[in-house]
Homo-oligomer: A and B are copies of this chain.
Amino acid sequence: MSRVWNFSAGPAALPQAVLERAQREMLDWNGSGASVMEQSHRGKRFIEMAARAEADLRSLLAVSADYAVLFLQGGATQHFAQIPMNLADAGDSADYIVSGHWSEKAVSEAAPYLRVNVAASGEAGHYLALPPRESWQLDPQAAYVHYTPNETIHGVEFHDIPEVGAVPLVADMSSNILSEPLDVSRFGLIYAGAQKNIGPSGLVVMIIRRDLLQRAGRPMARIFRYAEHAAHDSMLNTPNTWGWYLAGLTFQWLQEQGGVAAIGERNRAKAELLYRSIDGSGGYYRNPVEPSARSRMNVPFTLHDAALDAAFLKESETAGLLALKGHKAVGGMRASLYNAVPPEAVQVLTAFMRDFAQRHG
């Protein structure tokens, strides 16, 4: 067994303690004599586990009873489409803030279902900064305002929740949920693909204000209605039981770490260490993002000479540093620093970066 330092943007590193527990329980979960994957989701054992996972998530983020918590499938991408299906009529419009690749995707999947108003976009600036709140052209009649608090490819992050008045704020938090304390009451709907800060892929966690479940939405099958999923405790059909279980273990692990306040401090320190190493490299490494918009979760950086990229990737892999290759849209490198990436990983990475710069000066 030799575990690497895993900087994957997603599916991403999981807490090693969670993996070890899942490993131990693989053939005999909870005294049942069978794997958690081999249990009916309608059985007493599974229902208790599922309810505890929800309770732990509610506790971690202080989610009030005004919100339903759903465990769904389809990835955030499916919900790019399903959110407008549920929250809007065909004649409605919604405001979208475009701050990078994922908010672009959210727009294109929503477009068949309503009139998308791009209320602000960072595209002209190559998504190296966030469109300032005062530039947003919001429509007070919009069905909702959608934004992406953290963009994994461009490495930009909103560090404050934007004020949007009475229109419900909808956030794709796939890449930053549970990474720091959050005032859930500011949102109408929060959703997140699990595969970054929660668990394995194939699971989506949604926190939705109950009044939004009353919206009629479009004519559609029952399986697409969030209100139906809420009414059936996310067991309208068979859920991703393994994903739900791993999410529950991750929530317990987060509590053991001291909750989102403690993990938030740790995440801030991890990101600061890496940005400091980049900025202090005398131009050897570079992160092009406007400092106030830099992501704590995803840190893209380039080498001063792209001809060194291949050597950097090869040597970093040999040094036990996994998945540092940047997304093709921006090139270079990227280190993702989600909750399960320990501080040691960033120390090893920054030491490697210094060493690499010296050897390939």
> CB of A32 within 8 A of chain B?
yes
> CB of A236 within 8 A of chain B?
yes
Query: Do A40 and B323 touch across chains, with their CB atoms under 8 A apart?
Result: yes
What is the CB-to-nearest-CB distance from A344 to chain B, in angstroms, rounded to a whole number? Answer: 15
Query: Do B14 and A38 touch across chains, with their CB atoms under 8 A apart?
Result: yes
- Contact code string A18-52 (vs B, CB < 8 Å = 1, else 0): 01101100111000111101111101000000000
Q: How large is the interface on A (under 10, 10 to 19, 20 to 34, 35 or more residues)?
A: 35 or more
Q: Which of A1-9, A135-143, A255-263, A347-355 contacts B (4 or more CB under 8 A)?
A: A1-9
> CB of A75 within 8 A of chain B?
yes
What is the CB-to-nearest-CB distance from A158 to chain B, in angstroms, rounded to a whole number? Answer: 23
The complex places the Cα of A28 from the Cα of B19 at a distance, in Å, of 10
Query: Do B221 and A81 touch across chains, with their CB atoms under 8 A apart?
Result: yes
> CB of A12 within 8 A of chain B?
yes
Query: Do B237 and A77 touch across chains, with their CB atoms under 8 A apart?
Result: yes
Q: Which residues of B contact A113 (CB under 8 A)?
A: 221
Q: Which residues of B contact A307 (CB under 8 A)?
A: none
The complex places the Cα of A166 from the Cα of B39 at a distance, in Å, of 40
- Asked, given contacts A1-B28, A28-B1, A109-B221, whether A202 binds B39 with beta carbons under 8 Å apart, the answer is no
Q: Which residue of B lies closest to A245 (CB)?
A: B200
Q: Which residues of B contact A246 (CB under 8 A)?
A: 37
The complex places the Cα of A80 from the Cα of B223 at a distance, in Å, of 9
Q: Which residue of B lies closest to A110 (CB)?
A: B221
The complex places the Cα of A222 from the Cα of B240 at a distance, in Å, of 23
> CB of A201 within 8 A of chain B?
yes
Q: Which residues of B contact A173 (CB under 8 A)?
A: none
Q: Which residues of B contact A32 (CB under 8 A)?
A: 4, 322
Query: Do B223 and A74 touch across chains, with their CB atoms under 8 A apart?
Result: yes
Number of copies: 2
Among candidates B27, B81, B219, residue contacting A220 with C-beta atoms closer than 8 Å = B81
> CB of A117 within 8 A of chain B?
no
> CB of A316 within 8 A of chain B?
no
Query: Do B35 and A14 touch across chains, with their CB atoms under 8 A apart?
Result: yes
- Contact code string A71-82 (vs B, CB < 8 Å = 1, else 0): 001111110110
> CB of A213 within 8 A of chain B?
no
What is the CB-to-nearest-CB distance from A131 to chain B, in angstroms, rounded to a whole number? Answer: 24
The complex places the Cα of A11 from the Cα of B223 at a distance, in Å, of 19
The complex places the Cα of A238 from the Cα of B12 at a distance, in Å, of 12
- Asked, given contacts A202-B241, A322-B33, whether A78 binds B223 with beta carbons under 8 Å apart, the answer is yes
Query: Do A224 and B27 touch across chains, with their CB atoms under 8 A apart?
Result: no
Q: Which residues of B contact A10 (CB under 8 A)?
A: 40, 238
> CB of A300 within 8 A of chain B?
no
Query: Do A12 and B38 touch across chains, with their CB atoms under 8 A apart?
Result: yes
The complex places the Cα of A113 from the Cα of B218 at a distance, in Å, of 12
The complex places the Cα of A187 from the Cα of B202 at a distance, in Å, of 28
Q: A6-B34, A37-B199, A81-B223 are in contact. List 17 more A-B contacts (CB 8 A).
A: A2-B28, A2-B33, A6-B33, A8-B34, A8-B38, A11-B37, A11-B40, A19-B27, A22-B26, A26-B26, A37-B201, A73-B240, A77-B236, A78-B223, A78-B237, A80-B223, A112-B220
